[in-house]
Chains A and B, each alone.
Chain A
Amino acid sequence: MSYSMWIILTASLVGLSCGLIGVFLILRKQAMMADGISHTVLLGIVLAYMVTQEVSGPAMLIGGIFAGILTAFLVQTLSSLKVRHDASLGIVFTSLFAIGVILISTSVGNVHLDVKHALMGEITFIPFTTMDLPLIGSIPKATALLLLVLLVVIFFIVAFYKEWKITSFDAALAASLGIPVIFFHYLFMTLVSVTTVASFDAVGAILVVAMLITPAAAAYLWTDKLIVMLFLSGGFGVLSAIIGYWIATWLDTSISGSMALATGCIFFVTFLLSPKHGLVSRWVRPAELREEQEA
């Protein structure tokens, strides 16, 4: 497969897995948690590197899961101690990220792990580090990792579909029915973490937030059905990846930046045109109908 095809495939995998996870981030009102975890996984990756002395997929995933759960746990603990929830998140993620930054620049600084790479990602270099898989053959390591994570994400969404729905919509009812709400909270944070870690190489810590939140926020405006929202969000993610690659080639600029820009464009178009909530449909709709709906 050609060099640019690998990049487009990798970017699309980022868009797809982030788009799926993003739906539940939006519905569970935990979009800011994604921002937090996307930063703290840096600490997890650095710690994993310090333990194993290499940048390997599985170790990074485990480090990321550790950091994600640690973040969720600390935020929960702080807010139960009367610190406001948003403030707790602000305190926890910046502190853990800071530790990561300090460790990266003092103890582990090398070509593969530096702050700029961690923040922005470098999808251009992905096709150079390959591994061999049975049946598929030679595949970039980051792409393989993303593929694995995508399968894990899809598995968990499908297996616990009704549990995700009920814990997101009405956690109190879920708990009264005996569904382990706390368990699902941490499982979800784990999924956010692995998705973030896998997307790290490609788009970095900052732009992964755009991939997680914006396609899902756009999908939310198009539909009233959860299942449709999942497909739309995943689709918007992939579309952003492809448009982003195209913009980057055209302007000769950062691919990850262009992908994030593309998610923004999709959201903007949605905001104008979506049938139920869009600005245009609000203007076009007759006044009486509008009043009836807003009453």
Chain B
Amino acid sequence: MLSSVIHVDDLSASYQKNKVLNDVSFEVKKGTITAIVGPNGAGKSTLIKTMLGLHPKLTGNVSFWGNSFKAAKKKIGYVPQRGSVDWDFPTDALDVVTMGLYGKIGWFRIPSKKDKEKAMNALKKMGMESYAHRQISQLSGGQQQRVFLARALAQDAELYFMDEPLAGVDASTEKAIMTILKELKSNGKTVLVVHHDLQTVPEYFDHVLFLNKTVYAHGETEEVFTKDNIATTYGGDMQWVGKGDQYVIQSTSH
């Protein structure tokens, strides 16, 4: 049975004086993979951050399994944008993955052997076990993204938020990440992904949420991923490049 994992009701948020989210309301069902798409500055990352309490909300309500974020946070995994951290930090891949477990380890305790094993298994899943002790600045962009994904896997959450996990990664990493996302889905986990590449939406995601400060359309990909919805969400900021049945959209204002 499909039940709602996330309820977002009338959420709004601002960056300094600019309102970037306005009256955002939607629900997400268990076991789905949703792409959040929209033009630059549409508030995609802000939406995730606001839902996770990392950015203050102005109005509205967000609940997970009917509870507040605080009560649900142990079941939620978050993958920030790769560019949000300093990759010159003196640490290795395994250590970064272990950080995903810090919330469960508890105060005044250091990661146990078991925690390290868990982290190692997550790295293995991403095909990164041979890089476990590599300093993180020595990893390629795709490998860094895999480390981030492994960290989320180690958290063993029920619900995942991922901010542009496919941005600037190589083809094999993209494949590896999508395999993992499908595996998560088949295990009944729920995933929300901020995504930038409209072309791959129908292939990768079963749900789409069109966002441009507010929700333009949301639902199953087959139903809502239409030219009309893309055009209204992206406004005049894009041009069409006809290529048969494929949507090739280029944002003209960057």
- CA A82 to CA B16, docked complex, whole Å: 7
Q: Are B76 and A220 in contact (CB under 8 A)?
A: no
- Cβ of B80: which chain A residues have Cβ within 8 Å of it? 170, 172-173
- Cβ of A170: which chain B residues have Cβ within 8 Å of it? 80, 84-85, 99
- Cβ of A85: which chain B residues have Cβ within 8 Å of it? none
Interface of B is mostly: mixed
A223 at the interface (CB under 8 A from B): yes
B228 at the interface (CB under 8 A from A): no
Q: Are B52 and A27 in contact (CB under 8 A)?
A: no
Q: Which residues 14-48 of B have a CB within 8 angstroms of A?
A: 16-17
Contact status of A173 and B99, CB under 8 A, knowing A162-B105, A224-B91: yes
Kindly provide the distance from the CB of B103 to the nearest chain A CB, expressed in whole angstroms: 3
Contact status of A169 and B102, CB under 8 A, knowing A159-B108, A162-B111: no
B70 at the interface (CB under 8 A from A): yes
Kindly provide the distance from the CB of A141 to the nearest chain B CB, expressed in whole angstroms: 32
- CA A176 to CA B80, docked complex, whole Å: 10
Q: Which of A29, A162, A175, A228 has the most chain B CB atoms closer than 10 A to its own CB?
A: A162
Contact status of A169 and B99, CB under 8 A, knowing A159-B108, A224-B90: yes
B138 at the interface (CB under 8 A from A): yes
A179 at the interface (CB under 8 A from B): yes
Q: Are A226 and B78 in contact (CB under 8 A)?
A: no
Partner of B86, one of A165, A169, A175, A226: A169
B96 at the interface (CB under 8 A from A): yes
B182 at the interface (CB under 8 A from A): no
- Cβ of B241: which chain A residues have Cβ within 8 Å of it? none
Chain B: CB-nearest residue to A162: B102
Q: Are B91 and A165 in contact (CB under 8 A)?
A: yes
Contact status of A223 and B105, CB under 8 A, knowing A176-B73, A176-B76: no
- Cβ of A229: which chain B residues have Cβ within 8 Å of it? 90
- CA A172 to CA B51, docked complex, whole Å: 13
- Cβ of B53: which chain A residues have Cβ within 8 Å of it? 175
Q: Are B78 and A173 in contact (CB under 8 A)?
A: yes
B135 at the interface (CB under 8 A from A): yes
Q: Are A27 and B89 in contact (CB under 8 A)?
A: yes
B57 at the interface (CB under 8 A from A): no
Partner of B99, one of A161, A165, A223: A165
Kindly provide the distance from the CB of A218 to the nearest chain B CB, expressed in whole angstroms: 13
Q: Are B102 and A172 in contact (CB under 8 A)?
A: no
Q: How many residues of B are in contact with the other chain, CB < 8 A?
A: 33
Q: Are A176 and B52 in contact (CB under 8 A)?
A: yes
- CA A172 to CA B85, docked complex, whole Å: 9
A225 at the interface (CB under 8 A from B): yes
- CA A168 to CA B53, docked complex, whole Å: 19
- CA A225 to CA B133, docked complex, whole Å: 10
Contact status of A179 and B103, CB under 8 A, knowing A162-B110, A172-B54, A224-B92: yes
Q: Are B103 and A178 in contact (CB under 8 A)?
A: yes
B49 at the interface (CB under 8 A from A): yes
- CA A293 to CA B96, docked complex, whole Å: 21
Chain A: CB-nearest residue to B88: A220
- Cβ of A161: which chain B residues have Cβ within 8 Å of it? 110
Kindly provide the distance from the CB of B236 to the nearest chain A CB, expressed in whole angstroms: 30
- Cβ of B52: which chain A residues have Cβ within 8 Å of it? 175-176
Q: Are A178 and B99 in contact (CB under 8 A)?
A: no
Contact status of A169 and B85, CB under 8 A, knowing A162-B111, A224-B135: yes
Kindly provide the distance from the CB of A223 to the nearest chain B CB, expressed in whole angstroms: 6
Seed contacts A178-B103, A225-B91; 13 additional CB < 8 Å A-B pairs: A27-B90, A82-B17, A162-B99, A162-B102, A169-B99, A174-B102, A175-B53, A176-B73, A223-B90, A224-B92, A224-B137, A226-B89, A229-B90
Residues of A within 8 A of B (CB): 27, 29, 82, 159, 161-163, 165-166, 168-170, 172-179, 220, 223-226, 228-229, 293
Residues of B within 8 A of A (CB): 16-17, 49, 52-54, 70, 73-74, 76, 78, 80, 84-86, 89-92, 95-96, 99-100, 102-103, 105, 108, 110-111, 135, 137-138, 151
A-B contact pairs, 21 of them (CB 8 A): A27-B86, A82-B16, A162-B102, A162-B111, A165-B91, A165-B95, A169-B91, A169-B99, A170-B84, A173-B99, A174-B102, A175-B53, A175-B54, A176-B52, A176-B73, A177-B102, A177-B103, A178-B70, A225-B91, A225-B92, A229-B90
- 3 closest Cβ contacts across the A-B interface? A177-B103, A224-B135, A176-B78
